[in-house]
Structure 1
Amino acid sequence: MTAVKGATEPEAESWLDTETPAARADIEIVEGINHQPVAFDPVTGHYTRLSRSGAAILQALDGTVTGREFACAVVRQGGHDHTAEQIVLAFLGELRAAGLLTVPPESGALLDGVRFARRRHMPRRALATGSINRLLEPPARALRRAPALFAVLWGLAAAAALWQTGHAITSPGAAGLLTVSGLTWGWALLALLIALQTTVHELSHALSCRYYGIPVREVGVGLLFYVLPAAYVDRTDAYRLADRRPRIVICMAGVAVDLLWIGAYAAVTSHSDGQLGRLAGLLMWLQLMLLMGNFNPLMPTDGYQALETALGTVNLRARALTVLRCLVLRRPQPSWLASRGRARRTGYLVFGAVCVAYALLILVMTVHALTLWIG
C-alpha cells in the first residue's frame, strides 16, 4: 500500500473515529527520487517518500469523512478484506505522524522514520542562503551551454592529475612527505589551502545543483555528529530529480574537484624542493586520505550517498544493518524487507557486512595507533 518507512499501527485509533483528516493545502506532491511520488512540506522543508497508492490516498483525503470511514470506503471500492483496512488505518497514522494532514501529530509522536533529508546529525550555522543561487547561476548557465566541452576538459585534467599523483606517490621518499618535521612557515599556508579546498568542494556541489536547476537552500558550517567541524551545502531539493544520474553527479562533484587538487599538489611536489615541495607532498597525502574517507559507508559521505543513489534506494545503511541484525539475532523480518526480492535482501546483507567490517577495521587501526603512540 505504501512505501513510507516506519509502518506501525497507530498508538491509539480513537482519533480515526472523531477527526476528519485532509491533506494540508500547502503540501506539494511531485514525482521525484527514482520516479516515485514525494510529498514536500514547505514549513519544515522535509520530503516524505510515498508509493503511488499512498500518494493517491493522501490526495483523496478531503476532510469530509472520518479516518475510519475513509478506510472502509477504500476497502469497499477495491474489494479488499479487513487486513487491507488495517493497512490503510496504519498509513493514515503515518501521514499524521509525518505532519502531512490537517490533524496535527500527537505531542512527541512525529515519526522520523517516515521522512528523509533530516538535519539532526549535524547542528548548522548558515553563512549564505538564497543569495548563493544568484551567484552560481551565471557559471551554471555557461556550463549548460557547453556540457560536452566541460566534460572533455575535466577528463583531460583528471587524467593528468592521476598520472601526476601516481608518479609522486611511487617516487623514492614519497612516504617521508607525511612527516611534519622541518616545516616552519608552511602551517598557515597549509590551513589556508585546506580551508580553500573545502570551500571549493562544497561550492562544486552547489554549482552542480544549479546546473540541473535545483535551488541550494544554504551554505554554511556545522559539527558532524556534534564533533567533527565540516562545511556543508544543503542540497535537499535534489530529491526532486527523478533521474539517478544528475543526483550522482551532484554527490560526486566535490570529489571530482578534489582529484584535481591532489594532482596539482602532486605536480608541485614532483617539481619543487625544500619546504614548498614538502608542504605540497603533505597536502597531497592528507587529501588522498580525506578522499578515501569520503567513501566511508558508516557516515553520510559523498561516496555513500552516490552509491545509495546509484542503487536507487534510500536509508541503505540503516536497512542493511537491520537485515544483518535480524539474521544474527534471529528476529522476524520487518514488512518492508519481507516484500523485497531475494537479490535485494542479499544486497542489503552484503552491504551490512561491509559496514561491520569497515567499523572493525577502523577500530583495529585506532587501537594500533594508540598503542604506538603510548608506547
Structure 2
Amino acid sequence: MDDIPLIFDPLSGRYHRISRSGERLLPLLDGSRARDDLVQSVSAATADSARLQESVNSFLDSLASSGLLVGSSPDTDGDSRVRRFQTTQLMPRFVVSRALPTLLEPLAAVIRGGPQRLIAVLSGLGAVFGYLTAIGVLVGTAPPLEQMIGPALLVACGLMIAQTLVHESCHALVAQVCRVPVRGLGVALLFYFMPLAYVDRTDAYRLQRRGPRVLLALAGPMADGWIAGTTALVAFLGTGFVSDVATALLLLQVIGLVINLNPLLPSDGYAAIEAGTGLVDARGRAFTILANTVTRRPLPRHLQGVSLRARAAHLAYATCCLLYVGMIAVAMLNFFALAVSLVEGRFHS
C-alpha cells in the first residue's frame, strides 16, 4: 500500500507492515535455513556484520511475536475474522452481520460499469451542498431546544439510527465496488461508553491508490450530506410536528458531522487523513507510545526507532485524543441531564 510492503496473515486476517529490507529477506524464509545459517549468510558480505546480525535477529523476532513463522504463536490468540466479539484500542466490538458484500454486489456491479469518477465527484458536491443547506436552515429557523425535546427528539433518534445503517452501507458499497469487500457490520463502544456503528474495512489495505481509499473513508459522510440536505428541505417547508422532527434530526446530523470528520477520534475524517497522507495506524502507534511511556515499559520493536521529535508528536496527539473524549463524556452527561430536566418540567407543568 503506497509502496509500503505489508504481510497478510490469512489465519488471523491481520496485516503487518514491514520495511523494504525486511521484504528482501522474505524469499529466504523458505524453510531450508536455520536461523543462525540465515543470519550468517546475510551478514557475511558486509563489514558491519554484528550490526546486521542484530537487525536480522530483531526482524525474525518480530515475525515470531506476530505468529508469522512456522512454529510460532501470536501475542493474541484466536481468529479475528471469525470471532464476533473482540476488543482493540479500548473499543469492544461486536459483529452483527457479514452479509453486506452479498447484498450490495448487484448495485456495485452497476456502478463498476458506469462513470465512476463522475459519480464520485457528483456525490461529493451534493454532500457539500447538503451540509451547507442543513447548517443554514438549522441556524436560521431552528426552534428553541425545549420545543424539540420530547417525542420529536425520540423520533429523530430513531431516524438517526436508520441513517447510520445507510452511512455504514455506503462505506461497504464503495469497498465492494473496489473489490475489497468489508468483513462485517457491527457495533463498537469507544472507550467503553460511546456507541458507534462500523464496518470492518481492514482489507482496504489492498488498494494501491490513495484516491479510492480516501473515497472509501468519506463515503459515509457523503451519504449523510445528501440526507442532511433532504432533511433541511423538510424542516424548512414542513410545519408542526414534522418540522420539529426534521429540525431535531438536523441537529443530530450536524453533531454527527463534527464527530465523523474529527481527527481526534477514530473517525471517517481520521481514516481519510491516513489514506491521503499514507500514514498507517498512526493512532494505534500514538496510544502505544503513551501507554508505554506512562507505565515505563520499553516500546515494541517497531517503535524503538521512532525519533524523539516524532515520539513527542505521537504523545501530544494521544493526549489530545483522551482529553477530547473526556470533554465529549462530560458534554453527553450534561445533555442527558438537561433533557431529563426539560422532560420533567413538561411533565409537572
Asked if the contact 2:265/2:321 (under 8 Å) is kept, the reply is: no
Change over 3 Å in CA distance of 1:128–1:329 after alignment to 2 = closer
Cα shift at 1:346? 6.9
The reply on whether 1:254 has 2:217 as its aligned counterpart is no
In structure 1, runs of 5+ residues without a counterpart are 1-32
The match for 2:181 among 189, 193, 215 is 215
Q: Secondary structure at the match of 2:261?
A: coil
Counterpart-to-counterpart distance in 1, 2:171 and 2:222 = 10
Asked if the contact 1:127/1:221 (under 8 Å) is kept, the reply is: no
In structure 2, runs of 5+ residues without a counterpart are 342-349
The reply on whether 1:157 has 2:122 as its aligned counterpart is no
Counterpart-to-counterpart distance in 1, 2:67 and 2:302 = 22
Counterpart-to-counterpart distance in 2, 1:196 and 1:93 = 47
AA in 1 matched with 2:228 = I
The reply on whether 1:110 has 2:80 as its aligned counterpart is no
AA in 2 matched with 1:309 = A
Q: Secondary structure at the match of 2:95?
A: strand
Per the alignment, residue 5 of structure 1 pairs with none
Per the alignment, residue 127 of structure 1 pairs with 97
Counterpart-to-counterpart distance in 2, 1:339 and 1:59 = 25
Counterpart-to-counterpart distance in 2, 1:78 and 1:313 = 32
Q: Secondary structure at the match of 2:140?
A: coil
Cα shift at 1:343? 7.7
Per the alignment, residue 138 of structure 2 pairs with 169
Give the 5 Å matches for 1:307-318.
Answer: 307-318=273-284
Q: Secondary structure at the match of 1:123?
A: strand
Matched pairs, number: 331
Over aligned residues, Cα RMSD in angstroms? Answer: 3.6
The match for 1:85 among 39, 50, 53 is 53
Cα shift at 1:274? 0.5
Per the alignment, residue 108 of structure 2 pairs with 140
> How many percent of aligned residue pairs carry the same amino acid?
34
TM-score, normalised to structure 1, is: 0.74
Give the 5 Å matches for 1:61-76.
Answer: 61-76=29-44
Range with bigger deviation, 278-287 or 230-239: 230-239
Cα shift at 1:342? 8.3
AA in 2 matched with 1:110 = D
Cα shift at 1:83? 2.5
Change over 3 Å in CA distance of 1:61–1:337 after alignment to 2 = closer
Per the alignment, residue 344 of structure 2 pairs with none
TM-score, normalised to structure 2, is: 0.79
Per the alignment, residue 26 of structure 2 pairs with 58
Counterpart-to-counterpart distance in 2, 1:242 and 1:207 = 18
Per the alignment, residue 238 of structure 1 pairs with 204
Counterpart-to-counterpart distance in 2, 1:216 and 1:151 = 19
AA in 1 matched with 2:93 = P
Q: Secondary structure at the match of 1:120?
A: strand
Change over 3 Å in CA distance of 1:279–1:209 after alignment to 2 = same
The match for 2:171 among 185, 202, 205 is 205
Counterpart-to-counterpart distance in 2, 1:338 and 1:44 = 25
Counterpart-to-counterpart distance in 1, 2:159 and 2:245 = 11
Range with bigger deviation, 360-369 or 95-104: 360-369
Per the alignment, residue 22 of structure 1 pairs with none
AA in 2 matched with 1:251 = A
Give the 5 Å matches for 1:18-57.
Answer: 33-57=1-25
